[in-house]
């Protein structure tokens, strides 16, 4: 892999991770509660990554924004950890609902991002 691509991914990942951390710190949720900030981050990241990949094939831009910024910003592992914590606190049904809603919303967001970018390119 070329060094400029690795640099773009690293720089973008740092920015995306900081944005995710900032949102989770600004909008915390109680242990076992519905992790709205994590779901918001993942849904907006999915919308943006769908739009990005439908609108450009530029390698450095995809590396920086897609793999880097949006890869650092979105967080499947945190979503799974939030669900596990809900189960551990004796709340299995919010965990199931959270997991289902997160996957459904994020899939819909990727499709919406692709459609928005595709529609914008047709005009």
**What is the DSSP code (8-state) at residue 31?**
T
Residues 11/64, Cβ–Cβ less than 8 Å: yes
Q: Which domain does 92 fall in, by range? A: 3-122
Name the 3-class secondary structure at 65: helix
Residues 38/78, Cβ–Cβ less than 8 Å: yes
- Binding positions for Na(+): 71, 74
- What was the pLDDT predicted at 120? 67
- Binding positions: 71, 74
Confidence of residue 121 (pLDDT cuts 50, 70, 90): low
Q: What confidence tens digit (pLDDT) does each residue in 65-106 have?
A: 999 999 999 988 889 998 998 899 988 888 899 899 999 999
Q: What confidence tens digit (pLDDT) does each residue in 98-110 have?
A: 899 999 999 999 9
- What was the pLDDT predicted at 34? 84
Q: Has residue 122 got a pLDDT over 80?
A: no
Tally of domains in the chain: 1
Structure tokens of 72? 């650092």
Using a pLDDT cut of 90, give the percent of the chain over it: 74
Rounded to two decimals, the pTM is 0.89
Using a pLDDT cut of 70, give the percent of the chain over it: 96
Name the 3-class secondary structure at 58: coil
Instruction: Give me the helices (H) in the chain, please.
Output: 3-26, 36-55, 59-61, 71-73, 76-88, 92-122
């Amino acid at each position: 892999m070329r060094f400029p691509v690795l640099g773009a991914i690293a720089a973008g990942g740092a920015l995306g991770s900081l944005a995710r951390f900032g949102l989770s710190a600004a909008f915390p949720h109680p242990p076992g509660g519905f992790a709205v900030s994590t779901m918001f981050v993942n849904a907006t990241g999915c919308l943006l990554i769908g739009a990005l990949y439908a609108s450009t094939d530029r390698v450095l831009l995809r590396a920086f924004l897609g793999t880097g910024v949006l890869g650092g910003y979105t967080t499947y592992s945190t979503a799974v950890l939030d669900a596990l914590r809900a189960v551990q606190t004796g709340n299995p049904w919010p965990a199931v609902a959270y997991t289902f809603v997160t996957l459904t919303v994020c899939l819909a967001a990727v499709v919406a991002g692709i459609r928005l970018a595709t529609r914008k390119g047709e005009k």
